[in-house]
Amino acid sequence: MTTLTAATIDSWADDPNGPVALHLKQKLLPVEGEGAVIFPPTYAVGEGRSPYNIDTLSDGTKVCTVDSVGSQANRMEPIFKATEAAEPENPLAKLVPQIDIAYGNEKKLSILEAGHRLGDAIIRTSKSDTFNLPGAAKEAFDSFIRGDATPIARLAPTSLIFGVWDSRETQAKLPRIVQSVIRAWDVSELKRSAQYNPALDYAALEVFSEDDKHKAEGKAESPLAQRGFVHVPSVGAHGGVVARGPIQRDVTVNFIALRRLKGENSTALRHYILGLALVAAIEPIDGFLRAGCLLTLDPASDADWKLVNRVGKRDPIVLDPAVIKTYAQDRADKFGKGPDRPVKFDSALAKEDVHKADKRAKAG
């Protein structure tokens, strides 16, 4: 088994013939126990189709996405966010620049909470008197296209870790270095029904007529039903899934994508991004994914990290959190973390951006 040291971690970023990835298989369980009903995310679909993302394999096995790659990235990224009490309560916040965007009535949004990271609309529409965030983001993307990832690493390094596509400006695409997804195997889909009963007989109280009541009952689209004045059944709604196979989280740290990063000091850049990637990969996830889906680690199944080499050999490795966090802080210091920057949402910039989109749409 490989012993984890700072030199070993450096080699993952430096050695072109080194391992291609780290991979974790992690079994999860519903808090209600194995075989309990869980609720995956739902998607807008056509009439009669399942709202869940369920794929059927050639042998008939049904596999359900419980938390997608994009959703997992958005759950993992805020571990680097500064808390209100600032750095002492979250030392991970010292590893990345903190860009806080003020908006509305004294509200704030961290860039680490923006779903599309450096490519998000909030980035194009926020600035301060001393810092032009939209301009800095565009310059960083342009620099990446030219082969230098340093400006992005100094401005928004998690965009390198979790990936971003600047689809509305430069078209720069940054591949994910850390990818995580949760799937449930061998699932059966359930349905559920319910009956809404009003607290009173409002027709008897002459709020409306018995005829109006008769016409509205059982019709969810009727105004009386929508306001809760009549009985309304709900039949055959999506009722979650039961997994007969494992509920499994897969995490991959892609060393090939990492080693392709170049910059003013490519070695220091890669070491810094690798440190952040490893911190993100080992940090325990929040298992409350949505209502009806609260997952925990399976205590009978250890985290199974493997170091994968070029010919597919998989060597077990123990990722010591203390070693990784010390490494990440040291490499952040050596690279030179970018400065924290407070900015403010600018409605004029947003209107200008909308106007630009309208002009492009009209131009065809």
pLDDT digits (tens, 9 = 90+) for 228-245: 999 999 888 889 999 999
Are 67 and 165 within one domain? yes
Examine the domain organization and report whether 163 and 202 are in the same domain: no
Q: pLDDT category, 7, cuts 50, 70, 90?
A: very high
Same domain, 203 and 260: no
Same-domain check for residues 114 and 236: no
Whether residues 194 and 229 share a domain: the answer is yes
**In the 8-state DSSP scheme, what is residue 317?**
B
Per the document, the length of the chain is 364
Question: Looking at residue 2, what DSSP letter applies?
Answer: B
CA distance 191 to 323: 47
> Looking at the structure, do residues 196 and 208 belong to the same domain, yes or no?
yes
Quote the tokens at residue 276. Answer: 């952040």
How many CB atoms neighbour CB 192 within 10 A? 12
Alpha helices in 163-249 (DSSP H): 210-216, 223-226
| Residues 316 and 180 reside in one and the same domain | yes
Task: Give pLDDT, residue 355.
Answer: 86
Q: In degrees rounded to 5, what are phi and psi of residue 285?
A: -85, 160
At 302 the pLDDT is 82
**Do 160 and 115 contact (CB within 8 A), yes or no?**
no
Our count of domains for the chain comes to: 2
Whether 1 is covered by a domain: the verdict is no
Residues 30 and 170 in one domain: yes
My answer on whether 325 and 276 are in the same domain is: yes
Question: Confidence band (pLDDT; 50, 70, 90) for 362?
Answer: confident
How much is the pLDDT for 50?
Answer: 85
Kindly tell me the burial class for residue 51, based on how many C-beta atoms sit within 10 Å of its own C-beta (0-12, 13-18, 19 or more): middle
Provide φ and ψ at 8, rounded to 5°: -60, -45
Mark whether 100 and 234 lie in a shared domain.
no
Residues 108-138: pLDDT tens digits? 999 999 999 999 999 999 999 999 999 999 9
Q: Same domain, yes or no, for 82 and 199?
A: no
261 with 221, same domain: the answer is: no
**H helices within 128-199, ranges in order?**
133-145, 150-155, 158-162
Domain coverage including residue 129: 6-186+245-356
- Per-residue pLDDT, 84: 58
Is-above-0.85 flag for pTM?
A: yes
pLDDT of 364 reads: 66
In the predicted model, what is the mean pLDDT of the chain? Answer: 93
For residues 102 and 343, the answer to whether their CB atoms sit within 8 Å is: yes
Distance CA 304, CA 16 (A): 25
In a domain, 101, yes or no: yes
